[in-house]
Structure 1
Amino acid sequence: MTKIDHLNITVPDIDEALAFLSIVAPDFKVRKDVKSPDRHRWAHVGNEQSYFALQEPHLDSITPSSAQKTYKNYGVNHIGLVVKNLESIEANLIEQGYCRGIFAPEETYRKRAYFFDKAGFEWELTEFLSEIPDEMYLYE
């Protein structure tokens, strides 16, 4: 079976990315955080199954551009995570000043919410209310 091992994302502020992930993925731990004085900073954060490889802009980037406009420009539209207790996560994100993304319609077997992190990446957070694949991915 194929599975995602990691996603490598260039972010403007690793500490801010780690703060966002601590809310939406509290089981994620920092595996490695390299702050070299002569190279770009990078960090791996995740659990035993997968992780995000976060890095600061490098490779001769002088002025990195902001994140692309989701659903309009080529690139990643959102990053999806399966979470537990979506309502609590939503409340924490709103309390910390994160903005909602696109609207998710109400569904029978899953709850979804979209939020932007401070770097402009949109995240889809899904709480499944069933463990039956045909119900989990029922597009109502």
Structure 2
Amino acid sequence: MKPYVEHANLTVRHLEDTIEFLQTAIPEFTVRHLGQHPMYRWCHIGTEDTYLALQEVVARDQIDRTPYRDLGINHIGLVVDDVVQVRERLLSAGYRENDMETTHPSRQRIYFYDRDGIEWEFTQYLSDDPLQRNDYAL
């Protein structure tokens, strides 16, 4: 068996907002399960093979983290078939795009923020060749 990432677990402000964001970007993602822990609600959303585990934050007034400076997740990367369609759906739904430069001959990438300010990367690979897909020279 080839190892792969089965899931990532994130704490979000409101499950419904993150579910809406993910299903807007990737309509094929389904809610596999909604659960209730004594202190928070949680959800698994994704495909049959891989998913994102979401749990709602325990109430607090402030989050003290600066992305790319403090410990924690900076963004989540998801592979999609068509980044143009993902961009159109997310912009139409009012989500904010990070317009950083991402030009590469073997992949197209876009970055968007959900309503919690979590950054998500969407990548469309333009080649099946791993040497091209994983090229870091550019």
Normalised by the length of structure 1, the TM-score is: 0.88
SS at match of 1:123: strand
- Aligned partners of 1:107 and 1:66: how far apart in 2? 34
Gaps of 5+ in 1: none
- Aligned partners of 2:68 and 2:99: how far apart in 1? 10
Correspondence for 1:57: 57
Q: Deviations over 1:95-124 (max 9, x none)?
A: 111111251331111000111111111011
Structure 1 stretch 16-25 or stretch 102-111: which is displaced more? 102-111
Corresponding residue to 2:89 among 64, 89, 92 = 92
Deviation of 1:64 after TM superposition, in Å, equals 5.2
- Aligned partners of 2:67 and 2:125: how far apart in 1? 24
- Aligned partners of 1:69 and 1:128: how far apart in 2? 29
4+ aligned runs moved over 6 Å, structure 1: none
Q: 1:16 to 1:132 in 2, by over 3 A?
A: same
Deviation of 1:93 after TM superposition, in Å, equals 0.8
Correspondence for 1:32: 33
- Aligned partners of 1:82 and 1:100: how far apart in 2? 17
Q: 1:67 to 1:82 in 2, by over 3 A?
A: farther
Structure 1 stretch 113-122 or stretch 100-109: which is displaced more? 100-109
**Which is richer in strand?**
2
SS at match of 2:19: helix
Aligned AA for 1:47? T
Correspondence for 1:5: 6
Q: Deviations over 1:20-76 (max 9, x none)?
A: 11022222111111257x542111111011111111123xxx415337322122211
Normalised by the length of structure 2, the TM-score is: 0.89
SS at match of 2:131: helix
- Aligned partners of 2:85 and 2:29: how far apart in 1? 17
Report the count of equivalent residues: 136
Gaps of 5+ in 2: none
SS at match of 2:84: helix
